[in-house]
A and B are shown apart, each in its own frame.
Chain A
Amino acid sequence: MATDTLVTISLPKEKQSSLDRFLAKGFPTNKWEEWKYTSLKSLNDIEWNWNTSEQSANSAALALENTVEIQTQNGKMTLKGTLPTGVEYLDFASFAAQKPEFMRTFNERNPILDQNSLYDLNDALASSHQVIWVKKGVKLDKPILHTYFASVSIASAIQIKLLIYLEEGSSLTWVDDLASSEDSKSILSNYVQEIWVSKNAHLTFVKTQDFGLSTTHVDHTFINQEDQSLVDMFTFSLNGGLIRNNLHFYVDGEQVVSNLNGLYVPGNNQLVDSHTVVDHRMPNSESNELYKGVLLGNSTGVFNGKIFVRPDAQKTNAFQSCKNVLASDKATMNTKPQLEIWADDVKCSHGTTTGQLSDEALFYMQSRGISQDAAKTLLMLAFVQQVIDKVEIPALKESISNRVVTKIQQALGV
């Protein structure tokens, strides 16, 4: 077993207990309800290097002008350039020492860790645990770009942890450009982000995932929102052998708005699994979830969207929609909306659809001179554009759009 080598690792007490929890559970298999379609059992067959010191060249797909960049190369995080006034980048221990009061609140939070043994593994072994701290009232007008790149010559687990802390009235746009090289040896990329959005703060978080086939990426994003805060979250899963996204929102304030946008376009031999949780714990808040998928080749998609509306969360508006197009007979999509509502004065809706492109629409377009493949491409792009268009950074929108277009065109042979 690959995890055998972990038994010999000796860690400080707290980290050791995280490791022990992981070892007790192991990698998730499809016997676990939350991992029914996404078994990581095969990771057991790989001899992992748990703490790589290999260098990787950064070959990020994205370049944004006038942007401060934080690079993560094979799990090593480095700040490039100078952060604007009012923003700090520091390691977790230094941050905790400076903000003991916040840490008390933070430690009392109550995340739902659904059968998430990889969170424990990350906690035990993360090579970096850094903090981005946006001070009270500081509004950044330029995004901060995090380029995360992995490429290894022996199978390696790469694990980092990040805390993004927005103080009251601040605002931040954070861009996660996650990638790995196509010809790398096996990578387990295990990435945890803990995000705290204080009263009246606004976070825009755009995540692009563009990995090689040998990469298994597990993403854990936990977002706590206080009163009147706003979060616009985007997850674009473009490529990767296996991508599992756990995105959890804890709505712990009133008049909170949480927007969850997702787009996945898995191709041949790729799997994308989006597990989202929106936990409404306080009244008068709103969440909007829009996920779309185009499934190419023999790919597999999973969407599991949970919405909890707790007894105190009266006057909650929670909307969820997941729409999928199967672009081939060999593609599979599994959807499961899960709403648990304990409050009685709420508006909630959910809908999932999975289908193929309409023959009627294709014929209409062909009758105007557009070839069937071009018509399919046009329809699929129109379908995904709704999510892409919500990104407000032109260069980023263009980059995502180009990558999606190219991928769909290649799959259809246009």
Chain B
Amino acid sequence: MWFRKIYGFNFAVNYHFKNKRMLSITNLHAQIGEKEILRGINLEVKAGEVHAIMGPNGSGKSTLASVLAGREDYEVTDGSVSFFGKDLLDLAPEERAAEGVFLAFQYPVEIPGVSTTNFMKSAVNEIRKYRGEEPLDAVQFLKMFKEKMAYVNIDQSLLSRSLNEGFSGGEKKRNEIFQMAVLAPKLAILDETDSGLDIDALRIVAEGVNKLKSPDNATIVVTHYQRLLDYIVPDYVHVLYKGRIVKSGTKELALELEEKGYDWIISALVD
């Protein structure tokens, strides 16, 4: 009997970490003003997976990322998004964050007068409050920050400055990944994280993302170019066009897109 118990436990852990359905997007429609941008997205993401969303400009990539994070500018007109069985669209942005959704911004916002460390302290303790956990104290923060700083090779002086104010493009993106490391999300959505990065900064950011990867979290990489996918290797690649996923495949699809562009897919569509 004892071995069955242990076997069962192992199985459960395995099931929970590896194959659990994390995010289900079904027939998602969203618009800004009168303009419909997402026109029926379907996507399944399981724990441990990396998905790349690619597509030409204006295809709705960033909109999808924003809708998942809860940006109010977009109105969801149809469809559903379930995150670990919860209706994600029903939650405020801060509740989504507390449930484990993280959006790395394409254009991180400058917050004058608030340092990254203070910002992260507020964020972590608000999330802990949501989850019914005790707040961390200054010593615990210090230890945690030190550990996470190593992920993206970021130094203390940057974290003490006003958040993103006067940061270079690379510093902003590294700061995003630092925040991601601190918040340890279940689902990280990277919105055009490669934009504005030179190759060295790109490598550092990608390394950070890879170090944070585990069997119980998942990553959605939204990108226009294939080059980021040399560093963050996806399990699945989806092509978004006019608000729909028109083609899905494995990482080889990204290489094909790099070589041939998007036209061959688009022209094959009977729209």
**Residues of chain A having any CB pair with chain B under 8 Å:** 358-361, 363-372, 374, 378-379, 381-383, 385-386
Contacts and interface: CB of A to CB of B under 8 A. Distances in A.
Contact of B114 (A366, A367, A369, A378): A378
Given A364-B111, A365-B111, A368-B183, A378 B92 contact: no
B69 A367 contact: yes
B105 interface: yes
B97 interface: yes
Q: Which 8 A-B pairs have the closest CB atoms?
A: A382-B113, A369-B97, A366-B93, A364-B109, A369-B127, A368-B123, A366-B94, A369-B123
Nearest to B189: A367
Nearest to B99: A369
Given A368-B183, A369-B98, A386-B113, A378 B122 contact: yes
22 contacts: A361-B111, A363-B71, A363-B109, A364-B105, A364-B111, A365-B123, A366-B70, A367-B69, A368-B94, A368-B97, A368-B119, A368-B179, A369-B97, A369-B124, A369-B126, A370-B123, A370-B126, A371-B126, A381-B113, A382-B112, A383-B113, A386-B113
A351 to B, nearest CB: 15
B204 interface: no
Given A361-B111, A371-B94, A374-B122, 14 more contacts: A359-B72, A364-B109, A365-B111, A365-B123, A366-B92, A367-B69, A367-B94, A367-B103, A368-B123, A369-B123, A369-B127, A378-B122, A381-B113, A382-B162
A360 B71 CA distance: 9
Nearest to A371: B94
B109 to A, nearest CB: 4
Interface string B68-89: 0111100000000000000000
Contacts of B135: none
A360 B92 contact: no
B70 A365 contact: no
B94 A372 contact: yes
Given A360-B109, A363-B72, A363-B93, A370 B114 contact: no
A386 B113 CA distance: 8
Interface residues of B, number: 32
Which secondary structure dominates where chain A touches chain B?
Answer: helix
B182 to A, nearest CB: 9
B196 interface: no
Contacts of A386: 113
Contact of A367 (B70, B110, B130): B70
B119 A365 contact: yes
B40 interface: no
Contacts of A359: 72
A40 B17 CA distance: 70
A369 B124 CA distance: 7
Given A372-B92, A374-B122, A378-B122, A367 B97 contact: yes
A379 B111 contact: yes
A366 B130 CA distance: 13
Given A363-B71, A378-B114, A378-B122, A370 B94 contact: yes
Most chain-B CB neighbours within 10 Å: which of A361, A364, A369, A372?
A369
Contacts of B56: none
B94 A369 contact: yes
Contacts of A366: 70, 92-94, 97
Interface string B114-131: 100011101110110010
A14 to B, nearest CB: 50
B108 interface: yes
Nearest to A361: B109
A379 B114 CA distance: 7
Nearest to A383: B113
Contacts of A385: 113
Nearest to A380: B113
Interface in B107-162: 108-114, 118-120, 122-124, 126-127, 130, 162
Nearest to A366: B93
B114 A374 contact: no
Contacts of B113: 379, 381-383, 385-386
Contacts of B183: 368-369
A370 B129 CA distance: 11
Contacts of B127: 369
A74 to B, nearest CB: 39
A318 B81 CA distance: 57
A337 B146 CA distance: 47
Most chain-A CB neighbours within 10 Å: which of B70, B110, B111?
B111
B65 to A, nearest CB: 10
Contacts of B103: 367
A364 B114 CA distance: 13
A382 to B, nearest CB: 3
A189 to B, nearest CB: 33
Nearest to A389: B113
B179 A382 contact: no
Contacts of A381: 113
A361 B127 CA distance: 18
